Structure 1
Amino acid sequence: MVNQVRNIVIIGASAAGHTLANELIPTLPEGYRILLIDALEYSFFPIAALRAAVVPGWEERIVLPLKTSTCFPSDSIHQVIAPNRVIKLKENLVVLEKPFEGTTEVRFYKAIIATGSTQPSPMRPSLEWNMKDYLDALKKSQQEIKQAESLVVVGGGTVGVEFAGEVRALYPDKQITIIHNRSTLLTPLTESSPSGNLNEKIPESYTSPPTHLKLANSLTNLVKGHTNLILNDKVIIPQPDEPSTESNWNGSFGLQPSLVTIRTESGKSVKADYVFLSVGNKPNSGLVRVTDPSAVEGKTGLIKVDEYLKVKSTIPGGENYYAIGDVSNAPGVKTSYIATVQAKSAAVNLINEIKNKPLIAYSPGTFGGLFVPFGPELGAASITLPYLGTWTVGSGMVRSMKGRKLLLDRWGGLWKGEEKVEILV
């Protein structure tokens, strides 16, 4: 039976990869098998990772075992291959780190790269960690934050704002300072120039996606009532070879051995015993880069795809690879919602290829939104609706749509296996 099936290989059990598998389960013709490959033995929910790094008990809510019995129905031929890594892409096959069905080479009909993005812990675990290692790291983070008295957050993008909000909600008496290099939090599409005109275009970047100016202003006004904000300034990060004293920050992040001084380019100084580096996602596109460097954008690291989400590659067999989610340069903000939209589009085209039907161009749609919670109860969001434009909403909608549950209830809908998983919402 195994020798007769044609494999659909999905590299990465991310939101995009897991959603794609679910979309294919009821539609794949007989004779095709899904192989969902991931480097980790467990799945984690990055949307709630910052809360899990701050609030005790939340670490148990964001991890689940990743295996065939939790992902696929009992009567299917589909399989999860985890923990295992794809170490090389070839024409019509991938090479695994560890053997599967007696070989490290897995042939496929089509392969979809859904490897997502990388971030430092606690946002995402190290690929070397098992589930216990990740849970222990989150618990350690919780203890260190509890111990700290004065925290500095370097960077006021969505990650920095959400981290500060989680700490403020649990520990309202701690001193929290956010230092950001813009005139508002986030990265607004336009900012006021020195003359006051809204004519300065902010270049789009992957790690800090452009946001609507109204949202940036709304969130800034909210956050400055609960934290210290230093805007239009940058933290001076000491180099490893620079001499340091006990009272000056040495450039390390996390809990400091004592109260240290953080300095900015404008000459300001802030005392802190905990430093959080707020960094955006970096595409996990190394597999494609070493195979075909021309298929990866040099500036962003995103995999180049065409209008059908197929990888733009000139190497033999390149036309049999797709890329979706955070790792792809397809249009749309890098959010979990857009990742699922891409997964559904790729599923349609995979079935169309099997049935020799025309492919359908991907579209992110006209609906869009960015919800930025500041703890469970506060936050701001922008919502773009067809014909109505972009609207900014406040804490009430953010609290009900995302802030309190952080979409954990929706994560539960991904798990279709015979072995039921328990989502602690």
Structure 2
Amino acid sequence: MGGQVSVEGVHVVVVGGGFGGVAAARQLKADGLNFTLIDMRDAFHHNVAALRASVKPGFARRTFIPYAKTFGDSFVQGRVQSVDTERQTVVLEGGREIQYSHLILCTGTDGVFPARFNTAASYETAVQEYDDLVKQVQAADSVLVVGGGSTGVEMAAELKTEYPEKKVVLIHSRTVLADPDLMPSVRQQAQEVLLEKGVELLLGEKVADLSALQFNVTQKDRLVTTERGSQLTTDLILCCTGLKVNSAAYGPSFSGCLAEGGALQVNDHLQVRGFSNVFAVGDCVDVKEPKTAYNAGLHAAVVATNISNMLSGKPLTSYRSGNSTMLLAMGPNDGVGQLHGWKLPRCVVALGKSRDLLLWKSWREMQQQQP
């Protein structure tokens, strides 16, 4: 469809303003379709840069981009409470209802701060949360990072790069670091980079009674015990585990379409099973591939195109997963990763992602200037 096409009676509701939701909204806007983007915050969070915002003073302000400046009245701040599929209505907390002809669910994953910030908050409040954590990091002489998946690896690297004098320990329940979708050689390289930076690794161990520990607050010489009985002292604990699909907004309404863990089962066109006018994008999609901002953007392009194709009677586009592309930023000047199944040199990852964490891309796509 051309950029000026408008279809009477069409109203696309996009639930969730993460990478996938924003990409879908931008394409719907370009196609001239009536849409509403809903998110509980008033600013897009470029959470690829959340870990650096946790350690680097003043950085957080660059990681939040106001929705209204880009989408105007097509953006609504609120938390989706439920979806009424019979009435084709999205219900917000407080009772407001927004009707849809087509629905795109982009609710992403939920997890522990600072890697995730899924909280109803204003731009200023969100920035302050990260600035407050930076002060806690600065006050600590030692930091324990719990979880050695890709998030934990990047967190430990950011800490040790910004504060080389601090003791940083990474504990991981498995013996190999980073995401299983990464090639073994890339995962090994991630471990080598951490060791080069001086991060201490405690692999094959789990923290005992993790839920009883207080995260993100500096308390000198806290004792932490592992399930095997090992003990260590630390001033600050940062948790980088426990990411899960954020299905709260849609779970009850689509209970028959949920895979294990709450992700939505979809067909090749990314339509939710049993609903021709409901699509899913990003981390909440049951597709066997890494949960990345890059893949969420690919999903959004397919879904927005398919809505346009449905309206114009054209065949629908299918989504096909490609080879795993993942880049781990390990401080501003280092990184590891792979592109379409090929291992990349560390300097290439540093230039391509680590230096700016792709912030320039989000600000450009939102048509706004970085502060």
TM-score of the superposition, structure 1-length normalised? 0.80
Distance 1:121 1:152, change over 3 A: same
Aligned ranges 1:160-179 → 2 under 5 Å: 160-179=152-171
Q: CA deviation at 1:394?
A: 3.5
| Cα distance in 2 for residues equivalent to 1:220 and 1:239 | 27
Unaligned runs of 5+ in 2: 1-5
2:147 paired residue number: 155
Matched, 1:21 2:15: no
Aligned ranges 1:23-422 → 2 under 5 Å: 23-28=27-32, 32-67=33-68, 69-71=69-71, 79-90=73-84, 91=86, 92-97=88-93, 104-188=96-180, 210-225=181-196, 226-237=198-209, 240=212, 251-298=213-260, 300-313=261-274, 318-366=275-323, 368-384=324-340, 390-416=341-367, 421-422=368-369
| Cα distance in 2 for residues equivalent to 1:362 and 1:37 | 24
1:6 paired residue number: 10
Deviations 1:284-327 (CA, angstroms, capped at 9, x unpaired)? 112221113121123x22111111101114xxxx3321111111
| Cα distance in 1 for residues equivalent to 2:79 and 2:225 | 42
Kept after mapping to 1: 8 A contact 2:112/2:243 = no
Runs of 4+ in structure 1 off by over 4 angstroms are none
**1:82 aligned counterpart, secondary structure:** strand
One-letter identity of the residue aligned with 2:62: R
Kept after mapping to 1: 8 A contact 2:36/2:76 = no
Q: CA deviation at 1:125?
A: 2.5
| Cα distance in 2 for residues equivalent to 1:373 and 1:155 | 16
Unaligned runs of 5+ in 1: 73-78, 189-209, 241-250, 385-389
Kept after mapping to 2: 8 A contact 1:371/1:382 = yes
Q: CA deviation at 1:396?
A: 0.6
The number of aligned residues is: 363
Deviations 1:73-115 (CA, angstroms, capped at 9, x unpaired)? xxxxxx423212322211222223357xxxx332222111112
| Cα distance in 2 for residues equivalent to 1:26 and 1:41 | 21
Kept after mapping to 2: 8 A contact 1:285/1:296 = no
Q: CA deviation at 1:127?
A: 2.2
Kept after mapping to 1: 8 A contact 2:112/2:240 = no
- CA RMSD of superposed structures (Å): 2.1
**2:36 aligned counterpart, secondary structure:** strand
Identity %: 26
Kept after mapping to 1: 8 A contact 2:140/2:220 = no
TM-score of the superposition, structure 2-length normalised? 0.91
Distance 1:254 1:97, change over 3 A: closer
One-letter identity of the residue aligned with 1:275: I
Bigger mean CA deviation after superposition, 219-228 or 390-399:
390-399
Distance 1:216 1:239, change over 3 A: closer
Distance 1:365 1:23, change over 3 A: farther
Bigger mean CA deviation after superposition, 219-228 or 338-347:
219-228
Deviations 1:270-296 (CA, angstroms, capped at 9, x unpaired)? 211111111253211122211131211
One-letter identity of the residue aligned with 2:299: Q
Kept after mapping to 1: 8 A contact 2:40/2:121 = no
Instruction: Name the structure with the higher helix share.
Output: 2
2:3 paired residue number: none
Deviations 1:370-417 (CA, angstroms, capped at 9, x unpaired)? 111211112211222xxxxx332342111101111000011123214x
| Cα distance in 1 for residues equivalent to 2:161 and 2:365 | 29
One-letter identity of the residue aligned with 1:287: A
Kept after mapping to 2: 8 A contact 1:332/1:364 = yes
| Cα distance in 2 for residues equivalent to 1:302 and 1:141 | 31
Larger radius of gyration: 1
Kept after mapping to 2: 8 A contact 1:85/1:98 = no
Q: CA deviation at 1:256?
A: 4.0
Kept after mapping to 1: 8 A contact 2:182/2:337 = no
